[in-house]
Amino acid sequence: MPHSFIKPVMSRHTGVREQETNIVANEESRLKDAWRVNQFLANANQYLADENERLRSELAREHGYVGIVKRIVKACRR
């Protein structure tokens, strides 16, 4: 978990300082949530890229099989 950057803001009014600290804490929490979402999306993107590559290679292999069958059929027709 990232380092906490919450530091009380110096103010003459304690209530204002607490409010400013809460704003900073809320912003820090929002940024942590955004970081988690970003990590999830990066993992999902990598999974989809891997799956895309797997399907691409499978399609290329099947296309090769179709070519072999076409050549066999053509040779049998002679």
Cα separations in angstroms, 76 against 25, 66, 67, 68: 76, 15, 14, 12
In the prediction, which pLDDT does 48 show? 97
Length of the chain: 78
Q: How far apart (Å, rounded) are the C-alpha atoms in residues 46 and 75?
A: 44
- Locate the domains of the chain by residue range: 13-77
Q: Tell me: the pLDDT tens digits for 12-61?
A: 556 777 888 888 899 999 999 999 999 999 999 999 999 999 999 999 99
Among 3-7, 43-47, 60-64, which stretch is predicted with the lowest mean pLDDT? 3-7
Q: Are 9 and 20 in contact (CB under 8 A)?
A: yes
Entry pTM: 0.56
Query: Confidence band (pLDDT; 50, 70, 90) for 8?
Result: low
